[in-house]
Chains A and B, each alone.
Chain A
Amino acid sequence: MTLLGQFSLWTALLVGLWGAVLGYSGRWHARPELGVAVTRAVYALFGVLVVASLSLWHGLITHDFNIEYVASYTSRNLPGYYIVSAFWAGQKGSLLFWAVMLSGFAALAQWLTPAKYRSLMPYVGAVTSSVVVFFVIVMLFAANPFARLPFTPPDGNGLNPQLQNIGMVIHPPMLYLGYISITIPFAFAVAALLARRVDAGWIQAIRKWTLMSWLFLSIGITLGMWWAYVELGWGGYWAWDPVENASLLPWLTMSAFLHSVMIQEKRGMLKRWNMTLIIGSFLLSVFGTFITRSGVIASVHSFTQSNVGYFFLAFLLAAGILSYTLLYTRWDRLEAEVQLESMVSREAAFLYNNLLLVGIAFSVLWGTLFPILSEAVRGTKISVGPPFFNKVNVPLGLLLLALTGIGPLIAWRKASIRNLQRQFVVPLSFGLVTLGALLLAGVTEPYPLVGFALAGFVTGTLGQEFWRGTSARHVMYQESYPVALARLVSRNRRRYGGYIVHLGALCYFVAFAGYAFKTEMEATLRPGDTASLRSPFGHTYTFTHVGVSQFEQLNRIVSQASVQVAKDGSPIGVLSSEKRQHFSEPTPGLRQKSFEPSTEVGIRTTLQEDLYIVYAGSVEGTEEAVYRFTINPLVVWVWIGGLVLVAGGLIAMWPGGAAGGTLRRGQAGYEVRLAGTASGVGA
């Protein structure tokens, strides 16, 4: 099967090159059958990479330890689902995963794109094939997943215990899918530039793709936070690690694009900016991959250092130079159809929002690269950790939260004083009441205080938007309130789906603000001993050590330490944390310990706070256990926020709703331009 895998990769290289050369050549303008050939090449590319993937999976499932990748990431006693996920657990396998998924997306784009955009599709095929070819080249010349060992070991190394978690089965593919699918909007943007068809067409064609990429990135990032929280045991979910930052960068620029593209659709503005954002998002996704795989910046998440980093750096530079040069050559064609009328308008709010999102992306990128820059300038190695990122980004994040509440309150084109008064009263009241309540409760820390007050303001804004729309339907159509709300959302999925996304983001901010009140302590307890910790909400938890038991489970020896928990004296249950010593068993009865013991935390979640206990180890090999107890306020709102955000994104993406509305508004924007041009002010 490895031979078949190798053969498939070489075939993929040839097919991909054929599709790319044919697509870029433009000869299909005169010979339409060549355009069809590009589409077929894209389908064929997907087919051969599926064969390559099945070959690798076959090696993993049949424990073919002669394949170096299989021996490195699996073992005979690894549970089945982790054998499946081992496909993307290592550098080489994840490159193949990337290539096959991208070719799948490329095939879907060719298949699903409506016929009216057909003139773009050969170029789209060329761009996607080029990117796939790049990944195939990396595999063939630097990181071949089918490389064989000179001998066959009796068992493999097994999978890193920290990757043996359901979060790691789902999180990496989701994140990869986000990174990968950005290639499709990028391909359409480049196609529009190459074809000189920079009207709103390409924007319409990629709308669902951009939302899908953004959703995958959101899910991937949130699952990554969840995995870090439940698996790594440090009691947090975001550490501003370079690899984490790398995933955030394209998410931020894609978020900016999802906002600014509305201005292009409605008003014919920001065309150049939108092109810049899509190209930038793609480059940032490649940059993220470069950071993760090159080892150029120290990170706990990165793959083993290898020479694939040079390939990614070269690709990043080439793609950046070519894309922006192309954009420069089409710059004049991307002139706005109308100009902004007022700095106090919905359009301006979108601009400010874009400024902040891209500004935050820049500051994260700057902080991530600053150690390299500093070493180059001063010759001194420095570290840039959470204190730096929090200092720079928290104020920007709060401004962004404020804009989330302000934006929907301002009218399009130009807001009047009366409009502002009418719109702001309720949200501002919400914000002020929240602020007052917190001050009365004794909260004095400035950032959380401002964060919660702004959360109140945004809640007011969103509540007002839903309330007004629902009550208007209730009055006009005599619908009951639940029916009116459901129809309001379903008739304008994009707008209200977007508001639901904002609600999800709001939950994130509430959770982030709550994190400032985290409390923790270490304690050493003999069975029967107790320790107490006071919650920021005022109650006291008491932990009574039950003992440590050891037993075998699957491919590991588990040492489980348990505590009985009482809240203000009332028992609320037992929490356990574990040490897991994994082992491999090349032949029955012959056990070898693999990896250092890993830690599993015990978590009790409520809407208010999480109790988070970690068994750090035992004293002198006895049941006397060292624990870390942590109370994490409002953490669950990160996961709730993630669910709400995804639900909102899916609603916004769902087909149907107010069909044609965007087009009508686009036409209206065009007429506004005509009117403006006629009066001499629109150009």
Chain B
Amino acid sequence: MTSRRRFLLQGLAGALPVLLHAGPAAGQQQPLAGQGAAGELRDPAAAGRPRDRATERDNDEYIKQVEHRLQCTCGCTLDIYTCRTTDFTCTFSPALHKEVLALHDEGKDADAIVAAFVEKYGEKVLMAPKPEGFNIAGYIVPGIAILLVGSVMAAIMVRRSRVMAVASAAGDPPVSGGSADEMERLRRELREFDE
């Protein structure tokens, strides 16, 4: 047997056991679909922070609405519900969610829960400032500004259109100083405006 053939046969003999026992591709894991079992992950840390099981109360519409009114204190600027169901690395929002549930268990309604949060974390915990005191300015200034500017604009327009109407009624010649060709051109161009 030539050394080349021996080399190939030895290589094949060495590879066979490996090929026969080949499991999933390196770094892959077979899911246990439909088995009802929950296989362990090869690298649990790579799948993020371990999660608690979701409960019915996590989906409670009333709790959601309360949490939408309160900001997470982690600095993300999201509300508690959105943060806890989005930023799965945040440790603040799950804790705040538990606080909301605890306050609800104490029999507090939405406004009382929100008030308790404001007392504990300050006004900054509200997603929108309460419409009272100086905060009212926050809500009404844009509307007032638009109304004010709109009113001034309307007043000016009405005054000017009245002046024009009076001038027309006084019988001023509508146009003067133009040749017949120029007037025809003007009429033609004005017609274009209306098209």
Q: Which A residues contact B (CB, under 8 angstroms)? A: 232-236, 239, 241, 266, 298-300, 339-343, 348, 351-352, 355-356, 359, 362-363, 366-367, 370, 374, 377-378, 380-388, 391-392, 396, 411-413, 520-524, 526-529, 544, 546-552, 557, 559, 562, 579, 581, 593, 596-597, 599, 614, 616-624, 626, 628, 664-665, 667-668, 671-672, 674-675, 678-681
Contacts and interface: CB of A to CB of B under 8 A. Distances in A.
Interface in B7-64: 25, 27-54, 58-59
A664 B186 CA distance: 10
Contacts of A239: 77-78
Contacts of A678: 173, 175-177
Contacts of B180: none
Given A362-B146, A413-B193, A681-B172, 5 more contacts: A383-B129, A618-B50, A623-B38, A668-B190, A680-B172
Contacts of B127: 383, 385-388
Question: Nearest 8 CB-CB pairs, A to B?
Answer: A547-B31, A668-B189, A621-B44, A363-B142, A617-B51, A359-B146, A559-B47, A581-B46
Given A527-B36, A547-B39, A343 B161 contact: yes
A234 B72 CA distance: 14
Nearest to A370: B138
A341 B41 CA distance: 75
Interface in B78-121: 78-79, 82, 85-86, 88-89
Interface in B164-186: 164, 167-168, 172-178, 182, 185-186
Contact of A343 (B68, B157, B177): B157
Contacts of A593: 45
Given A521-B59, A618-B41, A672-B186, A549 B48 contact: no
A380 to B, nearest CB: 5
Contacts of B27: 550-552, 557
A628 B142 contact: no
A385 B71 contact: yes
B69 A367 contact: no
Nearest to B130: A382
A391 B41 contact: no
A548 B86 CA distance: 19
Contacts of A664: 189, 192
Given A355-B150, A382-B126, A665 B32 contact: no
B77 to A, nearest CB: 6
Interface string B130-166: 0001110011011101100110011001101101100
Contacts of A236: 82
B46 A559 contact: yes
A273 B148 CA distance: 17
Contacts of A667: 189
A597 B126 CA distance: 29
Nearest to B86: A234
23 contacts: A266-B193, A351-B157, A359-B149, A366-B141, A370-B129, A383-B127, A384-B138, A392-B143, A411-B194, A412-B194, A524-B51, A547-B32, A548-B29, A550-B29, A557-B43, A597-B88, A616-B88, A617-B50, A623-B32, A624-B53, A668-B186, A678-B176, A679-B176
B54 A382 contact: no
Given A527-B38, A548-B31, A522 B85 contact: yes
Nearest to A412: B193
Given A342-B161, A528-B35, A614 B41 contact: no
Contact of A675 (B29, B45, B178, B193): B178
Contacts of B44: 618, 621
Contact of A392 (B122, B134, B139, B157): B139
A681 B164 contact: yes
Contacts of A620: 50
B139 A550 contact: no
Contact of B134 (A351, A378, A548): A378
Contact of A672 (B82, B145, B190): B190
A422 B123 CA distance: 54
B66 interface: no
A232 B33 contact: no
Given A381-B123, A624-B38, A388 B186 contact: no
A359 B63 CA distance: 35
B51 to A, nearest CB: 4
Contacts of A523: 54
A374 B193 contact: no
A392 B142 contact: yes
